[in-house]
Structure 1
């Protein structure tokens, strides 16, 4: 096996966190992966990983080797993709992670159009609102909404996503329409997520304000919160792609519009070694083309 293959195996072990997970990703046996890394260490004359029964710890030299190998492998892939791209269309399989509600609202109609344009590309999509580990779980690309954590991943903006505070006309008629964020203390709210305390953030005149909100129902799914708001159970705060239809039909009414925070950013994030992947870049370009409207708001 050539040195580049040893680099790939070592990088996959680092990304996956174990020999077993790396072997599964590479389609190799755990014993083969372990043996190749031992031979790599013998050839280099250094210890790259400290092994124990429970975990792998990278040595300082191993970390340096990993960073250099990742960069070299990315450059090799970019060269190969560039040469292949002169004569062929993007091809290969892309593993994508996307938020559930966003995917149902947009990807159901967009991905078939993408696959019609790029006939040699296959897409595997996992719908989940949890923050997946791209490297450890073998994803090529993830779509994420909101502020991104600092990481070695590459991020590209796709579009902006607006949010709105809203409630049903029946609820507002019975409980009154709040005119300032502080008035939410007297209202039933329908917050997204879990936890004892949920804060909604407001902008507007003066400094930003955060208000603790409570209610009888709290869910980590926007569609359920939208339906609860339509049923008159309280005020909710959701992205427009979830509530747009209900707002147009009058089943929900916006409130506190002048205090809404700035739009969220929809980003595509991917590992550095996928920067030269033509299928990944083709999908990012396609989503930007279709979702980034004149106002840049989905």
Structure 2
């Protein structure tokens, strides 16, 4: 029995929940994966998996073996990596998932420089705002804004994103300019932003030195993608709260007008997230370091508001709350 390959096959089946998907990710025939795990169970004299026609579940013995096998395989991978030449050029396919706005506004314009430095790396980039299944989709990393809900993921904080409330001149001419956040609940439309995979509309949040307010305004359109969200705002469909890096050019051109500037908005932490218990390859390491440097050079991705926020005390408190939540 090839015990190492059998252990790798077992770990992958546990992670993705099916023999078929595990075989695809391991680039092995499904019968080979089945045989490896049968041999492993025979070698251990223990049943590791319960199999039905619909699903695969882990036995108590299998759960215990999975935890130990994961550590052993991680140490082997780390040993192999440490023995490789430190001068070896990073290479291979890098699978990442980011929002379309980060891709188009931040990453893609700078990517030629990265690829010129590492010409043997190939980047497969998925664009979405939804929570990524890093293991099931075989992703190396993803970039996400907000608190990390899956605490099993490894996260590296690379910045903080501020929001600004704005609308088009045409919208404001028709509906008037709100003077207080509560005005958005009377005679105004708010463009709705839905978290991908849910129907929940995210509220607008405002803070002054005296109070914090959440507004759930009426809307005629909601979206689950940041790029589409900004396009709806530019079409005059309502008031929106948008990341400053996405609004900056449109405000400078006069297509958007900042409103309620006496109020701050809660910053959102930015993270690179990785699958748990995975050794980072050279290609992932250099890309993560490059991303961190890229985001660090952009003041609007490091918690700096596009316009001065009078509620400085509230802004500092909100930033502290955001840090604690992350």
Q: TM-score range by the shorter chain?
A: over 0.9
1:67 to 1:256, Cα distance in 2 relative to 1, 3 A: farther
CA drift of 1:196 comes to 7.0
Q: Structure 2: which 5+ runs fail to align?
A: 305-326
Structural mapping, 1:1-298, within 5 Å: 1-186=1-186, 187-193=188-194, 195=199, 198-293=202-297, 295=299, 296-297=302-303
Cα displacement (A) at 1:105: 1.4
Runs of 4+ in structure 1 over 6 Å off: none
Distance 1:111 1:274, change over 3 A: farther
Distance 1:112 1:72, change over 3 A: farther
Write the distance in 1 (CA, Å) between the matches of 2:271 and 2:200: 29
Scaled by the length of structure 2, what TM-score is found? 0.85
State the Cα distance separating 1:273 from its structure 2 match: 3.7
Task: Tell me how far 1:153 sits from its aligned partner.
Answer: 1.5
User: Could you say what secondary structure the match of 1:136 adopts?
Assistant: coil
Q: Kindly tell me: are residues 275 and 213 of structure 1, through their superposed partners in 2, closer, same or farther at Cα, counting changes over 3 Å?
A: farther
C-alpha distance after superposition, 1:104-158 (max 9, x if no partner): 2122123222221123322211112221211112111111111111332211012
State how far apart, in whole Å, the 2-side matches of 1:8 and 1:206 are. Answer: 56
How far is 1:85 from its partner? 4.3
Change (3 A) 1:197 1:82: closer
CA RMSD of aligned residues (A): 2.0
Distance 2:120 2:277 in 1: 21
Using the TM superposition, name which of 49-58 and 84-93 deviates more.
84-93
Q: Structure 1 residue 39: deviation in Å?
A: 0.7
Checking the alignment, whether the CA contact within 8 Å between 2:94 and 2:121 is kept in structure 1 is yes
Q: Which residue of 1 aligns with 2:311?
A: none
